Amino acid sequence: MNASLSTLPESEKLIELLNFATGYQKAKVLFAFTELDIADVSENKKNLRRIYDKLTNGGACLLSGLIMDNSRFAPQTAVLFCLEDICRNAPDVERSEKTYTEWLHETGFENISCETYLAPTKLLRGFKV
């Protein structure tokens, strides 16, 4: 990535992220995946495996949403959504960057990284190398 996302204006962050993701030298397939907060853990891991198996080498898996930091107390918006879900007995759960990173790593993805864009939304990406 040419510049740190933290130094870019909000309006330019998404463009830089898209340029980074699609400009990856070996990437042949990109997959945006945003439903991990709805399914249970075992189903999520199965879905990540399906994605991994369908990607060619250099392909990227992108996870975008309200991903909590590793303390699970921030960003505040993600935590509030999680509390609302608990109060409403909703099936979805906002998870932490650490959790998603572990799932990607267990699946076989490499070069895993996470950036905040259009705060508080985060983009976590991993590549099949």
Domains identified in the chain, total number: 1
First to last CA, the chain: 18
Are 55 and 27 in contact, with CB atoms under 8 Å apart?
no
Q: Taking the model in full, what pTM does it have?
A: 0.70
Q: What is the per-residue pLDDT across 22-55, written as a single tens digit (0 to 9) for each?
A: 554 444 555 555 566 667 788 888 888 888 887 8
What pLDDT, on the 0 to 100 scale, is given for residue 27?
44
Domain, as residue range, for 11: 5-127
Tell whether omega for the bond before 9 is within 30 degrees of 0, i.e. cis. Answer: no
Are 128 and 52 in contact, with CB atoms under 8 Å apart?
yes
CATH code of the domain covering residue 34: 3.40.50.150
Separation of alpha carbons 38 and 125, rounded Å: 19
Are 95 and 122 in contact, with CB atoms under 8 Å apart?
no
Helix, strand, or coil (residue 125): strand
Is the pLDDT at 83 greater than 70, yes or no? yes
Q: Is the Cα torsion angle 18, 24, 28, 34 positive or negative in sign?
A: negative
Helix, strand, or coil (residue 9): coil
What pLDDT, on the 0 to 100 scale, is given for residue 1?
44
